[in-house]
């Protein structure tokens, strides 16, 4: 009984704290926005269904992407439509979470607990500026470059390598539709994320989160993390790992050079 009482007291004390009050407000706000979030998800699901079909057809119809003697097959009558539903549902979730994050950020700055903490620490809430807009544009541009890199260079090279390796072993190369589309999209997403290395590095250096000497000291660890990211999203072979990780490392090193050249303000 004593342990239960102490646990209840601890939970009650936690909920009465500023952090608990902020968490309670977030939970209440999430309940109020549940219908709107579901509506956004449903709208994304409906609107994304024909888009998903076009994306799948576009990936499959690109004959130059498929190596010689390779066929993409479906193994069940509903595989194609289930893949469309999966992609359109991902689009709906993306819309809902994007709306939730943006609204939470805007409302969180105005919350009394956050205002009190900011005033206590004598901080200034950053306002939108030209520099922030440039960072956003730079981030979107790098993401597009990453997708182009994956689509034009990485995917054809890896598909050719993997199909040739299988054919040399005497295996017939027939790829499932879901596995093939997932492979292409995962490489595109991994490249888009990996190409954000300069943005993350520059922001961390410019706002003072890390010191340039610290980053230089842990350069090997960052390189290793790049290879780990490549291993997560690429096939388990050295060539795929290298092709995914190399651009991330190069962009990271370029961002360090840019930070040294540009004047600090």
Q: Domain span at residue 261? A: 126-265
What tokens appear for 94 in the block?
């993306």
- In this structure, the answer to whether residues 173 and 62 fall within a common structural domain is no
188 within some domain: yes
Q: Which pLDDT score is estimated for 236?
A: 61
Tally of domains within the chain: 2
- In this structure, the answer to whether residues 84 and 193 fall within a common structural domain is no
What tokens appear for 37 in the block?
């979030």
- Among 105, 125, 145, the domain-final residue is 125
- In this structure, the answer to whether residues 172 and 262 fall within a common structural domain is yes
Residue 80 has, within 13 A of its CA and on its CB side, a CA count of: 11
- In this structure, the answer to whether residues 104 and 216 fall within a common structural domain is no
Point out which residues pair with 49 in neighbouring strands: none
**Which sign, positive or negative, has the C-alpha torsion 213, 245, 186, 149?**
positive
* Spatial separation of the C-alpha atoms in residues 88 and 238, rounded to whole Å: 33
142 within some domain: yes
- In this structure, the answer to whether residues 173 and 252 fall within a common structural domain is yes
- In this structure, the answer to whether residues 151 and 238 fall within a common structural domain is yes
**Is residue 191 classed exposed, middle or buried when 0-12, 13-18 and 19+ CB atoms within 10 A define those classes?**
buried
- In this structure, the answer to whether residues 156 and 96 fall within a common structural domain is no
What tokens appear for 262 in the block?
């540009």
The structure's pTM equals 0.71
pLDDT in tens, 126-156: 565 677 778 788 888 999 999 898 888 888 8
Point out which residues pair with 176 in neighbouring strands: 73
End-to-end CA distance of the chain: 59
- Among 110, 125, 140, the domain-final residue is 125
179 within some domain: yes
- In this structure, the answer to whether residues 185 and 99 fall within a common structural domain is no
- In this structure, the answer to whether residues 115 and 158 fall within a common structural domain is no
- In this structure, the answer to whether residues 132 and 258 fall within a common structural domain is yes
13 within some domain: no
Helix 18-32 × helix 2-16 angle, to 10° = 80
- In this structure, the answer to whether residues 70 and 185 fall within a common structural domain is no
CB 72 within 8 A of CB 104: no
pLDDT in tens, 68-113: 777 888 888 888 889 999 899 988 898 888 888 777 766 665 656 5
* Spatial separation of the C-alpha atoms in residues 90 and 188, rounded to whole Å: 15
CA-angle at 73, arms to 69 and 76, nearest 5°: 160
86 within some domain: yes
Q: Where are the beta strands (DSSP E) in 122-184?
A: 174-176
- Among 94, 125, 156, the domain-final residue is 125
- In this structure, the answer to whether residues 137 and 120 fall within a common structural domain is no
Residues in the chain predicted with pLDDT less than 50, given as ranges, are 1-4, 11, 14-15
Q: Which pLDDT score is estimated for 117?
A: 60
What tokens appear for 27 in the block?
């939970």
State the DSSP H helix or E strand holding residue 73, giving kind and residue range, or none if neither. Answer: strand 71-73
């Amino acid at each position: 009984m004593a342990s239960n009482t102490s646990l209840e007291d601890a939970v009650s004390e936690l909920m009465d704290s500023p952090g608990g009050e902020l968490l309670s407000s977030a939970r209440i706000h999430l309940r109020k926005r549940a219908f709107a979030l579901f509506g956004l998800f449903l709208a994304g699901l409906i609107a994304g269904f024909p888009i998903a079909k076009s994306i799948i057809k576009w990936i499959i119809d690109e004959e130059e992407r498929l190596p010689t003697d390779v066929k993409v097959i479906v193994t069940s009558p509903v595989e194609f439509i289930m893949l469309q539903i999966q992609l359109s549902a991902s689009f709906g979730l993306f819309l809902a979470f994007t709306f939730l994050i943006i609204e939470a950020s805007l409302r969180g700055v105005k919350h009394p607990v956050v205002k009190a903490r900011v005033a206590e620490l004598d901080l200034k809430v950053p306002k939108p500026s030209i520099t922030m807009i440039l960072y956003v544009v730079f981030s979107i541009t790098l993401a597009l470059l990453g997708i182009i890199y994956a689509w034009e260079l990485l995917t054809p090279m890896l598909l050719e390598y993997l199909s040739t390796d299988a054919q040399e072993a005497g295996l017939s190369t027939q790829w499932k539709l879901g596995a093939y589309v997932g492979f292409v999209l995962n490489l595109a997403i991994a490249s888009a994320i990996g190409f954000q290395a300069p943005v993350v590095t520059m922001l961390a250096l410019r706002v003072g989160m890390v010191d340039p000497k610290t980053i230089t000291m842990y350069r090997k660890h960052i390189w290793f993390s790049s290879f780990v990211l490549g291993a997560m999203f690429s096939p388990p072979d050295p060539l795929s790992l290298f092709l995914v990780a190399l651009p991330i490392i190069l962009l990271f090193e370029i961002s360090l050079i840019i930070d040294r050249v540009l004047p600090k303000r």
